[in-house]
Homo-oligomer: A and B are copies of this chain.
Amino acid sequence: MNQDNKPSVTVFAPATVANVACGFDVIGLALESTGDEMDIRLSDTPGVRITSIEGAKLPLEASQNVAGVALQALLHEYGKPETGMEIAIRKNIHPGSGIGSSAASAAGAVAGGNMLLNNHFSPEALIRFAMEGERLACGTPHADNVAPAILGGFTLVRSYQPLDVIALHTPADLWVTVIHPQIEVRTADAREILKQQVMLKDAIRQWGNVGALVAGLYREDYDLIARSLEDVIVEPIRSILIPAFHDLKLRCREAGALGGGISGSGPSVFMLSKGEANARSVAAMMESIYAPLGVDYHIHVSRISSTGVKAIKAHQHAVL
């Protein structure tokens, strides 16, 4: 059987930052230029197969792979058992980096698969399918990363039952700089050290900042965004897991960042900036702080995306 004649699509699936400062567990954002590439192809063999994975050691068995599981969830709801799809994955996002590696795989698979089905499903349905990938990756079907990966820009997960995800307005000149120190922080550990109870006065301060951050995004008020990028609940606890965190935060602000925090559950740290020049100064500052530490790291500089997963190449009938 010659699969080369089957419709296929190549997608870019963005890296994402979840837990954006005060917006712990609710606000995420997608990067424009850092992400994975995936080929999704219709197949005569029913079900989902992963044909190749470059750039990371991940299971090829579809039921053990987040992209596979997410696409299986989509095909299950599609309800035509004869439908088959193949996925080839080129990972640029390191698993465990805290910038949505599993989310990119899951979101890319379902968004690409949906293009091959003439956009049969809504973006909200795609988020639900991709959440099944997250369930495999970390035990919880959370939407913090898959929502921005699919919708692009800033997103807010208001509720899970029912799922209510809002695409927030994203100022055009907002950039993000991310440093990924090559140390391991397990999501489960990062969650375990959190307290189940918090002070009401801290929670009030946090939701004042969340409201102000959302207002800042809609107003494109970069000063207000900067003032609102404060997390008084989670960051004080989790930041102990990240080398030089406070130095990084303080000096990146001095270098022009609006502010930032821990990306997801770490170890990556993100900083938002107005404009590319500031974002690159922040990257240089990050480098100057991390280079002497003897910890390997990657730094990404990217505009905040305006779209989520996008097709970068399509063959035969695939709808972009």
A251 CA to B168 CA, complexed, in Å: 31
Distance (whole angstroms) from the CB of A141 to the closest CB of chain B: 16
A156 CB-CB contact with B under 8 Å = yes
The answer to whether A27 touches B211, judged by C-beta atoms less than 8 angstroms apart, is yes
A side interface size, CB within 8 A = 40
Distance (whole angstroms) from the CB of A268 to the closest CB of chain B: 21
A157 CA to B212 CA, complexed, in Å: 9
Contacts of A158 in B (CB 8 A): 208-209, 211-212, 227-228
Binary CB contact string for chain A from 35 to 64 against chain B (1 if under 8 A, 0 otherwise): 000000000000000000000000000000
Q: A121-129, A198-206, A259-267, A282-290: which one contacts chain B? A: A198-206
A207 CB-CB contact with B under 8 Å = yes
The answer to whether B25 touches A204, judged by C-beta atoms less than 8 angstroms apart, is yes
Contacts of A269 in B (CB 8 A): none
* Nearest opposing residue in chain B for A224, CB measure: B166
A229 CA to B164 CA, complexed, in Å: 14
Binary CB contact string for chain A from 204 to 229 against chain B (1 if under 8 A, 0 otherwise): 11111111111100100000100110
A198 CA to B198 CA, complexed, in Å: 6
The answer to whether A215 touches B26, judged by C-beta atoms less than 8 angstroms apart, is no
The answer to whether A164 touches B215, judged by C-beta atoms less than 8 angstroms apart, is no
Contacts of A164 in B (CB 8 A): 212, 227
Q: A67-75, A106-114, A189-197, A301-309: which one contacts chain B? A: A189-197
A5 CB-CB contact with B under 8 Å = no
Residue among A25, A156, A210 with most chain B CB within 10 A: A210
* Nearest opposing residue in chain B for A157, CB measure: B208
A210 CA to B159 CA, complexed, in Å: 12
Contacts of A233 in B (CB 8 A): 200, 203
The answer to whether B23 touches A207, judged by C-beta atoms less than 8 angstroms apart, is yes
Contacts of A195 in B (CB 8 A): 200
Binary CB contact string for chain A from 265 to 287 against chain B (1 if under 8 A, 0 otherwise): 00000000000000000000000
A300 CB-CB contact with B under 8 Å = no
Binary CB contact string for chain A from 1 to 44 against chain B (1 if under 8 A, 0 otherwise): 00000000000000000000011111100000000000000000
A169 CB-CB contact with B under 8 Å = yes
Known pairs A212-B156, A215-B168, A227-B164; A207 contacts B206 (CB<8 A): yes
A25 CA to B213 CA, complexed, in Å: 17
Contacts of A213 in B (CB 8 A): 211
The answer to whether A203 touches B205, judged by C-beta atoms less than 8 angstroms apart, is no
Distance (whole angstroms) from the CB of A24 to the closest CB of chain B: 7
* Nearest opposing residue in chain B for A205, CB measure: B159
The answer to whether A203 touches B207, judged by C-beta atoms less than 8 angstroms apart, is yes
Distance (whole angstroms) from the CB of A147 to the closest CB of chain B: 12
A206 CA to B210 CA, complexed, in Å: 10
Contacts of A197 in B (CB 8 A): 197-200
The answer to whether A166 touches B215, judged by C-beta atoms less than 8 angstroms apart, is yes
- 5 A–B pairs (Cβ distance < 8 Å), ordered by A: A22-B207, A158-B208, A197-B198, A200-B233, A207-B210
